[in-house]
Amino acid sequence: MRIARIDLHHLVLPLAEPFAISGGVMRERRSLIVALHDDEGHTGWGESPPFELPFYSEETLAGAEHLLREVLIPRVRGREFPSVEAFDAALRVGVRGNHFARSGLETAYWDLEAHRRGIGLSTLLAERAGAPAAAMIQCGVALGIPADRSPSSLARSIESALREGYRRVKIKVAPGWDDVPVEAATDALKGTGIPLTVDANGAYEWPIHQANLHRMDQAGLLYIEQPLAPDELLAHTELSQTLKTPICVDETLRDARAAQEIAALDGPKVWNLKVHRMGGLTEALRVYSIGRSFGARLWAGTMPESGLGSQAAIALAALPGFVYPSDVEPSARWYGAGRDVIELTMSPAGRMAVPATSIANLLDRERLAAALRD
């Protein structure tokens, strides 16, 4: 399969409402869209979704665009690759990190193969994993810090999520915004059977904030996601062996090397697999294999991406071992109805269908054209 042409576009999707985490606020989703074309008229699509500022990771949108235009795209354009593993390896030579930039091309290559074969990404992943893919995945809601920092605003958001059918509620927390929102969320979920999780995006320090974390440990949470900084691997391990509530790693789980270290240390056993944070689906499958051997409980996270970029997460979440609801949500939740380039929908039972076709067959071309900023 020869890569005959590569297109790179800016995608801009205004958010229906601002989304705040411990590190920053997002008001629109800006990302990079990659299209790979072969010599036979097939196209594969991918998304590179780092944020504009480095509050989630060191990588930024401008940096990813520069690397794609000046290094990665020229490196693979016009070349022929025998497999997706060979394509992934070519993107890594002389490039340390830069997972989001690599993931845009890498996931597009997977989708190009899916388009050539007339199948979906989930079928390709299932073949590599040697396990069947599910036809549906469960969805959980991720709620940001309310603009007014009001527990009543948070409770209303949770009540709305329950009416829509979500199977798990996640709230963002940070020092100074933890006891109150956890209590409000616990009260809102009482008697529903829907689990509550919290996500700190690395906002706490151990042992400085151990009192905060010990209080959350008493709240009956399903897990505490990324309480400490991404490079705090030993501290996350200590925390996982100290608290009764399971610890979930997100930003810490950068690649297969980090996954192996977590397993060797007998560290946290809840893993958030984010395809684009790990550099693409090839690396995500390596992490998946290590996690399965380690006995980790897996789920799929998002940045969030557009409906285009979310196809990789949906396909991954369809594999066995993904036991918790994913963060993939209906498009209307993030962008409003009728705006996403691939409209993601959820059933009243909180489930999302896993597409059986490639991204090219799912794209709304008019919406895509309206959202591109080239």
Instruction: Point out the residues that are catalytic.
Output: 172, 274
- Before 207, cis peptide (omega within 30)? yes
**Residues contacting 362, CB < 8 A, separation 6+:** 307, 311, 342, 355
Order of strands across the sheet that contains 224-225: 141-143, 169-172, 196-199, 224-225, 247-249, 270-273, 297-300
Give the whole-angstrom CA distance, residue 203 versus residue 128. Answer: 36
d(Cα 359, Cα 281) in Å, to the nearest integer?
Answer: 15
Number of neighbours of residue 214 by Cβ within 10 angstroms = 12
| CA dist., res. 104 & res. 297, Å (int) | 26
Beta strand 247-249 pairing with 270-273: parallel
Cβ atoms of 339 and 331 within 8 Å: the answer is: yes
Cβ atoms 240, 247 nearer than 8 A:
yes
**Half-sphere exposure (CA, 13 Å, Cβ side) for 196?**
26
User: Which tokens sit at 254?
Assistant: 């950068």
Q: Which of 71, 74, 12, 5 is nearest to 38 (CA)?
A: 5
- 228: exposed, middle or buried (Cβ count in 10 Å: 0-12, 13-18, 19+): buried
User: In whole angstroms, what is the distance from residue 143 CA to residue 151 CA?
Assistant: 12
Number of H helices, E strands in the chain: 14, 12
Nearest one of 50, 79, 54, 76 to 65, comparing CA atoms: 50
